[in-house]
Amino acid sequence: MREFAGRERGLDGHPAIETALAELYRETGTAAYLELAGQFVDQRGQGLAGNSGMGRRYLQDHRPVRANPWSGAVYLRVLDAPPDARGLALRVPAWSGSTRVSVNDDPERAGISPVYHLVHRPWHKGDVVTLHLDVTPRWTYPDRRVDAIRGCVAIERGPLVYCFEQADQLDGAPLDDLVIEPGGVLGERPVALDGIGQTVESTAAGRLLPADTPVTAIAIPYFQWDNRDGRPMRVWVPRA
């Protein structure tokens, strides 16, 4: 950072680098991180900063960005903008299978490709960009070369890894006897759980061995586990 800070030309920025530098500033209070992030933004001429010097202001103020972690909606509000058109790069994660974006009351654009989507237009104070990320629950399979979890399956929803906790299984179905039938449609339902609060459960068809009894397996976000009775939990469950 010391090597590059203060240099005005020849630097190639990247939105992921600039965001990381801004987060480092928020965590440490070290102004050099923010200065370098703003320098990268200004040098590239991308986003709302361009050559107007607004990069530093935009990165310091997180208020224009709001997100709903359960619905996948991200809202960005423009606080100020240069007079000419600028490109705003929206990060689209690979897990979002069906992404939509709209500006103010304009029709939504669908079929957005992963990585970055550039919205290039004149911006005005008060403009609102809405990014709808697809957080539909999905199956996740391990690499076949990992012996410990070969033949297992897991569930993810948006950026969240899910887990099966004993406390959630119907009729006390033991996790050690549970196998999952992957490939089917995963269910989801918003709930409020004791010790956890608001969350979104995901449900999957499963069976209990050795009797091969059909059951509904219930998963919650991994970051919320171990807030109740301390019983077993699994991320990877054997396939039926």
pTM of the model: 0.71
Residue 215 to residues 23, 65, 81, 211, 239, Cα–Cα distance (Å): 44, 41, 55, 11, 14
Bond preceding residue 210 cis, omega within 30 of 0: yes
Tell me: the pLDDT tens digits for 164-176? 999 999 988 999 9
Compute the half-sphere exposure of residue 67: CA atoms within 13 Å on the CB side of its CA: 12
- The CATH class of 63-134 is mainly beta
Which range has the worst mean pLDDT, 63-67, 143-147, 159-163?
Answer: 63-67
Average pLDDT of the chain? 83
Q: Is the pLDDT of residue 52 over 70?
A: no
pLDDT, average across residues 23-32: 77
C-beta of residue 154 within 8 angstroms of C-beta of residue 161: yes
Comparing 108 with 9, the larger pLDDT belongs to: 108
Q: Is the pLDDT of residue 50 over 70?
A: no
DSSP string for 182-228? TTSPPEEEEEEETTTEEEEEEEEEEEETTTTEEEEEEEEEGGG-SSS
Q: Which residue has the tokens 């979002």?
A: 96
Tell me: the pLDDT tens digits for 80-105? 888 999 888 898 999 998 999 999 98
Residue ranges matching CATH 2.60.40 in the chain: 63-134
Instruction: Tell me the three state secondary structure of residue 43.
Output: helix
pLDDT score for 51:
38
C-beta of residue 193 within 8 angstroms of C-beta of residue 199: yes
Q: What angle do CA 158, 175, 142 make, to 5 degrees?
A: 45
